[in-house]
């Protein structure tokens, strides 16, 4: 696969070049010469941050992309060996209505079939939840896209393996479509 057209860590070559000044192939060459194949994740990211002055988020993305390309990390895998997935939807309703569909336990149970435990929340901004399995967590972000349009982003974290991550990616895609239908009704 050509690194020019490839995506690593979910980021395409043009995007990484626009934000860091170099494309994937160039970063991989630099990191190989630095001995990154034998370095820990945090050391690679710190090297990029200190030596190449890449901002924190982008130093992490380049590191994850490098690790994925070199078989040191699977898609959705975090440093500690757990997995995270993220799914989002644009909804044709105000952000307050989307937030309430999650916050109201009865409403949530209707469209989701579950009632996750809310750990903390800021109205119409975010919500941190414990998932029904009591082992994994959800982080929800709500964005207003206008008076009658919003976006919800679901990040499901601490999943045990790639199979669970793939399953939950499908699960959240389907359930955010159910939420869309619930909000239209």
**Distance from C-alpha of 133 to C-alpha of 120, rounded to nearest angstrom:** 18
pLDDT of residue 152: 95
List, in sequence order, the alpha helices (H) in the chain.
13-20, 24-34, 41-52, 56-69, 95-103, 105-112, 162-184
Q: How confident is the model at residue 1, as a pLDDT?
A: 42
Whole-number pLDDT of residue 77: 65
- pLDDT tens-digit readout, 92-146: 999 999 999 999 999 999 999 988 999 999 999 999 999 999 999 999 999 999 9
Give the separation between CA 65 and CA 73, rounded to whole angstroms.
9
- Tell me the β-bridge partners of 85: 156
**Residue ranges in the chain modelled with pLDDT below 70:** 1-6, 9-10, 74, 76-77, 79
The answer for residues whose C-beta is within 8 angstroms of residue 22's C-beta and 6 or more apart is: 16, 30
Residue 58 has which token pair? 């982008």
Q: Which CATH number fits domain 83-184: 3.30.70.100, 3.20.20.100, 3.30.530.20, 3.20.20.70?
A: 3.30.530.20
Q: Taking Cα atoms as reference points, which of 87, 84, 65 lies closest to residue 76? A: 84
- pLDDT of res. 4: 46
Domain positions in the chain = 7-69, 83-184
Do the beta carbons of residue 118 and residue 103 sit within 8 Å? Answer: yes
pLDDT at 76: 66
Quick one: angle between helices 24-34 and 13-20, nearest 10? 70
Token pair for residue 103? 């916050």
Task: List Cβ neighbours of 70 (8 Å cut-off, separation of 6 or more).
Answer: 28, 37
C-alpha span between 125 and 123 (Å, rounded): 5
């Amino acid at each position: 696969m050509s690194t020019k057209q490839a995506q690593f860590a979910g980021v395409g070559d043009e995007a990484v070049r626009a934000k860091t000044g170099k494309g994937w192939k160039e970063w991989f060459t630099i990191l190989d010469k630095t001995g990154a194949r034998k370095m820990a994740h945090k050391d690679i990211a710190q090297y990029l941050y200190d030596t190449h002055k890449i901002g924190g988020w982008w130093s992490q993305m380049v590191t994850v992309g490098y690790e994925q390309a070199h078989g040191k990390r699977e898609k959705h895998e975090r440093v500690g060996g757990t997995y995270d997935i993220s799914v989002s939807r644009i909804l044709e309703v105000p952000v307050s209505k989307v937030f309430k569909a999650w916050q109201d336990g009865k409403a949530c149970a209707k469209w989701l079939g579950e009632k996750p435990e809310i750990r903390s929340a800021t109205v119409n901004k975010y919500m941190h939840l414990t998932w029904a399995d009591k082992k994994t967590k959800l982080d929800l972000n709500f964005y207003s896209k206008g008076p009658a349009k919003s976006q919800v982003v679901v990040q499901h974290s601490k999943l045990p393996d790639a199979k669970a991550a793939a399953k939950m990616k499908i699960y959240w895609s389907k359930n955010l479509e159910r939420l869309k239908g619930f909000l239209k009704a």
